[in-house]
Chain A
């Protein structure tokens, strides 16, 4: 994947670059907002990691210009905002600047790589009909699921719940959000019904190392697939 890091702090930028290169990505780094806007207008990046506190043209302006540019065939470039300012969190939330995710400095690298993976996966899911999560693969066109390359039987509602969870790996999805996403199927769904679907999904997926975590009183979270646990 092609990644663009826009960060003016050289040690942090080089650290991020090496960590993301170690994940197998092609990484470009720039310290200037103007250059970032220019680079993004000339080629497509799969993800932009954007610091808000840049000299001259700040991250907000870069983001605004990225979003104002002509929309790409393959959808807008995902942007992960980095910020050191408390107030920025509110602006990212409140002003709906079009950032896909944000992280407050300083952050643990595993968290950053997890978020990057989630964003990349999401943007892939936008483009392609195939969703892959470790040994699990969903063909959304044919509506067929595979686990370790074996066909996996999923009831319609199980499929719907799984699709919602796959769209937000490592994020909590509230029961209400799942009900809303699945409610298109007609009759009312109780939170208890969701529990039933999740527990069925668990019994099918957990043997392959795919974990759905219950967040008590809130919802569910599909954990990042970890190779080690599968073995």
Chain B
């Protein structure tokens, strides 16, 4: 699903009603103001009609208009519109003015009528005014084109619309920036979540988040709680699995060793030696699988300050015995250096590197364990002078269950995968290079600055 912008959504929701309100507002403002204005212009036309009526003369049944040309000019003068007029005798015949001016609709000739019509192809506004001529009633029609009326309508419309447009624009701007500002606490919340370490499953502090975002925070906290519970369950399961697997293996190992210590017929001894070998291998595999499971993000313990030198020193006894058994010279170059991490996993990573180095060294080989800093970064390094790892294999050896083709020994192919996962979990890099003098190999785990 494409990410939906809250702003765009809000604007989509807000704009149609704003536009409708704008239109309605314009209409509501327009009509009340256009009406008095129209009435004022109409009154002007009526006044002209009444004035014209005063120039009607009659003698018997003859009617005529005596209009001085100066008056005619004054009547017709208008800065915007063309003015027309027509004077009609009581019989209806035109006695003065412009021919063909359309009469008012209806027959009511005794009162003043205003109407819209078309004259010479132009829309006009006209009035019909009755005028006294002798005993009878004459009629004066006065009309004008609608230029100034339209202009006035436009002006009124514009003056009502402009402020409303400004309000609409302001609304859009307020939504655009207000949403960003309003979502500020959410942005801070997401920053807070982003900066957490993966293992940090403590609830998020709801203080400082707006009330509207509280449900989100509490939902997140609910999820975090469930994840933390799942993680605790996984850790408990692993602890139980470790116990359930290792204890019988220890018994199996004890009994095979006891049996091997007895006088036995050679074929039986050979079989038993195989059982013992398989037991040892199974024990190591069980340990490795448990370590791999422990390295999973959900199963990790809390990070603490871990001194890499201390870890190496504590395990040194055990490694020295492994090395002695294979006649390998195990040496140490340890400088104290502290990293943030899980002590168990870091020890497991180092133990796997040392185990590999000892396992793949020839008799009389040399293995060196180093801790310290390189270019300011904490580093663990194990170097051997064994057969080394071919350049092309250096990526693949970090995969689970992968073993370099033609490798002797009984490894499971898990050792370096475990190291790789643990390193990744600590934000560390693994680099495999040739050992000193282009012999053997050197595996370095480099931790981020800190």
Contact = CB atoms under 8 A, between A and B. Distances in A.
A217 B334 contact: yes
B343 interface: yes
A204 interface: no
A9 B247 contact: yes
A12 B256 CA distance: 11
B255 A11 contact: yes
Contacts of B245: 84
Contacts of A110: 257
Contacts of A109: 253-254, 257-258
B239 A85 contact: yes
A73 to B, nearest CB: 31
A109 B254 CA distance: 6
A216 B368 contact: yes
B257 A87 contact: no
Contact of A107 (B243, B253, B344): B253
Nearest to B282: A106
A86 interface: yes
B246 A84 contact: yes
Nearest to B343: A90
Contact of A12 (B250, B321, B332, B333): B250
A2 interface: no
Interface centre among B251, B314, B344 (most CB of A within 10 A): B251
Contacts, number: 106
Interface string B275-319: 000011001000000110010000001000000000001101100
A19 B324 contact: no
Given A85-B239, A90-B344, A53 B247 contact: yes
Contacts of B283: 106
Contacts of A174: 313
A18 B256 CA distance: 12
A111 B254 contact: no
Interface residues of A, number: 36
A12 B247 contact: yes
Contact of A106 (B249, B291, B317): B249
Contacts of A213: 320, 324
Nearest to A12: B251
B261 interface: yes
B252 interface: yes
A218 interface: yes
A75 to B, nearest CB: 24
Given A11-B255, A84-B247, A107-B253, A218 B334 contact: yes
B329 interface: yes
Given A86-B344, A215-B330, A221 B242 contact: no
Contact of A172 (B242, B247, B317, B368): B317
Contact of A86 (B242, B247, B279): B242
B343 A215 contact: no
B25 interface: no
Interface residues of B, number: 41
B81 to A, nearest CB: 100
B344 A11 contact: no
- Residue from A19, A106, A110, A172 whose CB has the most chain B CB atoms within 10 Å: A106
Contacts of A218: 313, 316, 331-332, 334
B278 to A, nearest CB: 13
A141 interface: no
B248 A85 contact: no
Interface in A1-59: 9, 11-12, 15-16, 18-19, 22, 51, 53
A118 to B, nearest CB: 11
A22 B255 CA distance: 13
Given A12-B254, A84-B242, A105 B247 contact: yes
B254 A19 contact: yes
Interface string B342-372: 0110000000000000000000000010000
Contact of A15 (B255, B316, B321): B255
Nearest to A111: B321
A22 B321 CA distance: 23
Nearest to A113: B257
B253 A106 contact: yes
A174 B324 CA distance: 18
Q: Which of A11, A86, A104 has the most CB of B within 10 A?
A: A86
A171 interface: yes
B356 to A, nearest CB: 19
Interface in A101-151: 104-111
Given A85-B243, A174-B313, A216 B250 contact: no
Interface string B253-270: 111011001000000000
A19 B249 CA distance: 16
Contact of B320 (A19, A51, A172): A172
Given A22-B261, A107-B250, A86 B333 contact: no
Contacts of A93: 314
B294 A216 contact: no
A19 B321 CA distance: 20
Given A9-B250, A108-B280, 10 more contacts: A12-B247, A12-B250, A16-B254, A22-B258, A84-B246, A89-B344, A90-B344, A105-B250, A109-B253, A215-B332
Interface of A: 9, 11-12, 15-16, 18-19, 22, 51, 53, 82, 84-87, 89-90, 93, 104-111, 170-172, 174, 213, 215-218, 221
29 contacts: A9-B250, A11-B252, A11-B254, A12-B247, A12-B250, A12-B254, A15-B251, A22-B261, A53-B247, A82-B250, A84-B243, A85-B242, A86-B291, A87-B344, A105-B249, A105-B250, A106-B250, A108-B257, A108-B280, A170-B317, A172-B317, A215-B316, A215-B330, A216-B332, A217-B331, A217-B333, A217-B334, A218-B316, A218-B334
5 A-B pairs with the lowest CB-CB distances in the bound complex, closest first: A216-B331, A15-B254, A12-B251, A11-B251, A106-B250
Interface of B: 238-239, 242-243, 245-255, 257-258, 261, 279-280, 283, 290-291, 294, 301, 313-314, 316-317, 320-321, 324, 329-334, 343-344, 368
